[in-house]
Amino acid sequence: MTDWTVHKFGGTSLADAGRYARAADLVREAGDGPVAVVVSAPAGITDAFLEAVALAARRDPHYRQALHDIRDRIVALAGKLLGEEASPLIEVVESNALDLEDVLRGVELTGTAPEQTGELVSGFGEVWSAQMLRAHLATTGTPDAEWLDARAVLVVERTASGPLVHWEKTGERLAKWQRENPSQTVVVTGYVASDEAGVATSLQRNGSDYTASIFGRLLDASSITIWTDVEGVMSADPRLVPEAVLLPYLSYDEAAELAYFGARVLHPHTMAPAITADIPVRIRDAGHPDRVGTLLASAPPAELDDERATAVKGFSSSADVALLNIEGLGLMGVPGVAQRLFGALRDVGVSVAMISQAGSEHSICAAIPLGQAERARSAVEHAFHAELHYGKVQTIDVGGPYRILAAVGDRMEQTPGVAARFFGALGSANINVRAIAQGSSERNISAVVDAKDSARALRAVHSGFYLSDRTLSIGLLGPGRIGSELLRQIAAGARTLHERFQIDLRVRGIMRSSSMLLDERGIDLGRWEDLMARDGEPADLDRFVAHVDADHIPHAVVVDCTASEEFNDIYPKWLDEGVHVVTANKHATSSSLDLYRRIREPRRSRRAHYLGSATVGAGLPVVRTLQDLVRTGDRVHRIEGVLSGTLSYLFNGLSIETPFSSMVAEAFRRGYTEPDPREDLTGMDVVRKALILGREMGLELEPSDVSVESLVPEALRNADTAPEAFLDRLADHDGEIQARLNAAAREGGVLRYVARVEESGAAVELRTFPSHHPFANVSGADAIVAFTTERYNPQPLIIQGPGAGPEVTAGGVFADLLRLAGLLGGSTPNV
């Protein structure tokens, strides 16, 4: 091992001048030893070159413009990065571009582009990129930086399984180059190479990773660092699976399996030279160099407890494939069938990504690149011509597009239940599996699924292994006083809940009447208001719910903290669709009995829960206590109580000196009432709570069955009067209530506005209670409820305490969310 280190920068990490400068800084911070810096082309350049070649091959004259665009982008980048020092590079680029135009003109004239032409042309992205970074390093404190054109050194042989390095020849050339250029900072072109005849070629897409690994081995480097645009290798492609987590350590084998099936962050060949030379490879985020990233090595470092890692580490999904299926009774027990099949495919250059054969040998199925499907079919038909003719082979068919979904992990082998979890997750996401394979290394399980389902399938299997069964995707309706308090409480408790109880609460959507905020992974609750102002979009309930009810998160819940009636009829629909409902909103369960039944009655088809503890008594366990009584077989005779915190406050403060109207004005001023205090004074809020309690106790009550005494004087019921005007005029009517107060006082009692629900009927009214009665001894905005039942008789069961206000109400909703998580199983989160 030498003290060389290799650093590779991908195209995404070299997309603009700022990123070149950042790369140079990272190289300088890399340490004291000599550094080889392997660079990709700036993001998008390789694609743009290949597109220009394709245009020329189709004789589309726009190839010129395409080429000029590439040139102009590089020239602009050089100007920005290098300033006055840019001219030598710009001259080179312009002169190369003229040559390339000639090459493309040739392609246009012949109307065809051999593969070599594409490789030659597209390699210029890296050739320019290396010169760009070298020039920048040279002008910013590393004057001896050199660039190495890998085409002059790296010799490869093109084979069906990709380019193979001629190590000896390449080693000699590199040694010679180093003697002539004894620099300690060498910028190497990624991706490009030469074949044995000296013709420019490439290491194929994403080949710069391979370059880094090759040079690591050639230089006998002590480490290779791949700088890219993700934190490291994640448990799945983070663009497809937002929940993906960083994998701190991967064995070489795990990395190779993941890469093979399409984790673009690693090129499949990348590993080989590094493995042979046992060089540790780090994948790191160029945008966040403070993060450690992923280590690939032959053994985990001591500080990482890889034993604790999950059995399955990563998931990937391949590019599109076709499945070739050959089926026939005549294949059973006949030796050599597989050999003939794969021989035929090999002869026409079709590579097979996956094979599966049932034990009966009745059929064999192979996954092949989609683009080679027809070629494969005719080759196989040809090879089995006779069997087809004599009916020994019934069908040879090719279908697609499909994708191979793979789960990878070294320790799968020792862990039972992995396959069950994998296929279970696919099953519950309703994804059809076309073929299955598990290598005998048991490091990989693969399933072939329809291409259109592949992203969903990837998310489903990923959450099957990585998300706790108690992960809730939460959509909050109405971030008003209660809603925003709830968000604050969730933010404060989330971490402990996750760590100690594996309850993972993710608020993925917040919606108010005009706008909504959605986030894949979960909204940052510390600054949701800013985010909503910045990234909010127009409110759209259907989209909101579809987002919250994401396939890949085990459970979805809509939390209704609005005071609106607009969602009443939608609750049953959400519940039928499997979306849980947690609510502080009384409207739905207190409107018609029919709607109540559709929400509350258990149905076999229903997979979702409704929880509405906070609809009566806010955080007090009123509804829950009632439900427990009913479920345990007690008979509830009567429920009576002060159910409105607002009205409780009014009557607790009422006295000879403080008339009713001034209490109402005071409550209004303190924000204890609805914006229009008449909504409290009509008693409707209490009627709603009485209905909910009555129905929970088993009574078939319609709203019209509850008699109600309104505290709004007849003369002031005209809704056109503004709240302030109403308050002014209320004083004229103080006499009525004052008279009742006096009457009560004469008997030594007090006035309370109460609900009473029993089998014989329900009423909401102002009543007198003697001073020793529990209802007489409430204070502030307390609620109090007394349950008289078969068991609690004659002494009722009493629940008393603060029954209104954002904190206790939000606390009640939060408790329902946790209760919901508790109802949703809670098996161990990881196999």
Give residue for tokens 């989160």.
829
Q: Is 11 in the site for ligand ADP (CB under 6 A)?
A: yes
Q: How many CB atoms lie within 10 A of CB 625?
A: 16
Stretch that binds Mg ion, among 2-10, 309-317, 445-453, 731-739 (CB under 5 A): 2-10
| CA gap 559, 16 in Å, rounded | 44
Q: Least separation, in Å, of the C-beta of 323 and ligand ASP?
A: 27
Among 7, 10, 17, 119, binds Mg ion (CB under 5 A): 10
Which residues bind to ligand ASP, rule: CB under 6 A?
10-11, 40-41, 46, 125, 190-191, 205-209
Closer to ligand ADP by Cβ: residue 132 or 331: 132
- Which does residue 314 bind out of ligand ASP, ligand ADP, Mg ion, none, counting CB within 5 to 8 angstroms by kind? ligand ADP
Q: Where are the beta strands (DSSP E) in 628-772?
A: 636-642, 706-708, 749-758, 761-770
Angle, nearest 10°, between helix axes 806-823 and 481-501? 40
Q: With beta carbons less than 8 A apart as the criterion, state whether 185 and 141 touch.
A: no
β-bridge pairing 395-408 and 706-708: unpaired
Active site includes 689?
A: yes
Question: Which of 478, 704, 694 shows the shortest CA–CA distance to 596?
Answer: 694
Give the type of residue at 184.
Q
- Which residue, 132 or 398, is less far from ligand ASP as judged by CB? 132
Closest CA to 640 of 591, 703, 592, 686: 686
Q: Count Cα atoms within 13 angstroms, Cβ side, for 304.
A: 16
Distances from the Cα of 733 to the Cαs of 657, 683, 713, 715, 817, in angstroms?
15, 17, 7, 9, 44
CA–CA separation, 545 vs 574, rounded Å?
9
Q: How far is the CB of 209 from Mg ion (least distance, A)?
A: 6
Which residues does 157 contact at the CB level (< 8 Å), separation at least 6? 163, 164, 166, 195, 196
Question: Which of residues 259 and 490 has its CB atom nearest to Mg ion in the complex?
Answer: 259
Give the one residue of 236, 279, 487, 663 binding ligand ADP; rule: CB under 6 A.
236
Q: d(Cα 609, Cα 597) in Å, to the nearest integer?
A: 14
From candidates 105, 239, 635, 791, binder to ligand ADP by CB under 6 A: 239
Q: Judged by CB under 6 A, which stretch of 9-17, 67-75, 142-150, 768-776 contacts ligand ADP?
A: 9-17
In 670-805, which ranges are continuous DSSP H helix?
Answer: 678-681, 684-696, 723-730, 734-746
Using rule CB under 6 A, residue 268 touches ligand ADP: no
CA 624/CA 613 separation, integer angstroms = 6
As measured in angstroms, the least distance from the Cβ of 180 to Mg ion is 30
Q: Which does 265 bind (CB under 5 to 8 A by kind): ligand ASP, Mg ion, ligand ADP, none?
A: ligand ADP
Question: Pick from ligand ADP, Mg ion, ligand ASP, none: which does 239 bind, CB < 5 to 8 A by kind?
Answer: ligand ADP
Q: How far is the CB of 240 from ligand ADP (least distance, A)?
A: 8
Distance in Å, CB of 193 to ligand ASP, minimum: 12
> For residues 45 and 344, which CB has a smaller minimum distance to ligand ASP in the complex?
45
Query: Which CB atom, from 262 or from 612, has the smaller least distance to ligand ADP?
Result: 262
328 near Mg ion, rule: CB under 5 A: no
Say how far apart CA 91 and CA 48 lie, in whole Å.
Answer: 21
The least distance separating ligand ASP from the CB of residue 470, rounded to whole angstroms, comes to 41
3-state class (DSSP) for residue 708: strand
Instruction: Tell me: does residue 263 bind ligand ADP (CB under 6 A).
Output: yes
| Dist. CA 357–CA 342, nearest whole Å | 13
Q: At its nearest, how many Å lie between ligand ASP and the CB of residue 500?
A: 44
Residue 41 vs 588, nearer CB to ligand ASP: 41
The number of beta carbons lying within 10 Å of the beta carbon of residue 506 is: 22
* Catalytic position from the list 8, 313, 586, 689: 689
Residue 13 contacts which entry, ligand ADP, Mg ion, ligand ASP, none (Cβ below 5-8 A, type-dependent): ligand ADP
Q: Of the two residues 207 and 803, which places its CB atom closer to Mg ion in the complex?
A: 207
Query: Residue 207 binds what, of Mg ion, ligand ASP, ligand ADP, none (CB under 5 to 8 Å, by partner type)?
Result: ligand ASP
Q: What does the alpha-carbon distance between residue 19 and residue 13 come to, in Å, rounded to a whole number?
A: 6
DSSP letters, 7-47, are EEE-GGGGSSHHHHHHHHHHHHTT-SS-EEEEE-PSTTHHH
The Cα 357–Cα 340 span in angstroms is: 15
* Contact mark string toward Mg ion, 194..213, x via CB under 5 A: ------------x-------
Under the criterion CB under 6 A, does residue 13 sit at the interface with ligand ADP?
yes
Alpha carbons 795 and 205: distance in angstroms, whole number: 80
Residue 40 or residue 800: which is nearer to ligand ADP going by CB?
Answer: 40
At residue 252's C-alpha, the angle toward residues 249 and 258, to 5°, is 85
Write out the binding residues for ligand ADP, residues 183-222 only, by CB under 6 A: 206
293 binds ligand ADP (CB under 6 A): no
> With CB cut-offs between 5 and 8 Å by kind, which of ligand ASP, Mg ion, ligand ADP, none does residue 229 bind?
ligand ADP
Counting residues that bind ligand ADP (by CB under 6 A) gives 19
Among candidate residues 311, 295, 510, 274, the one with its CA nearest the CA of residue 408: 311
Give whichever of 256 and 553 is closer to ligand ASP, judged by the CB atom.
256
Closer to ligand ASP at the Cβ: 190 or 280?
Answer: 190
SS3 content of the chain, % helix, strand, coil (to 5): 45, 20, 35
Choose the contact partner of 191 out of Mg ion, ligand ASP, ligand ADP, none; CB within 5 to 8 A by kind: ligand ASP
Residue 306 engages ligand ADP in binding (rule: CB under 6 A): no
Q: How far is the CB of 266 from Mg ion (least distance, A)?
A: 8
In this structure, the number of other CB atoms found within 10 A of the CB of residue 597 comes to 13
Choose among ligand ASP, Mg ion, ligand ADP, none what residue 123 binds, the Cβ cut-off being 5 to 8 Å by kind: none
Given candidates 169, 264, 488, 729, which one binds ligand ADP under the rule CB under 6 A? 264
Where do contacts with Mg ion occur on this chain (CB under 5 A)? 10, 206
Catalytic residues: 689
Where do contacts with ligand ADP occur on this chain (CB under 6 A)? 10-13, 40, 206, 228-230, 233-234, 236-239, 263-265, 314
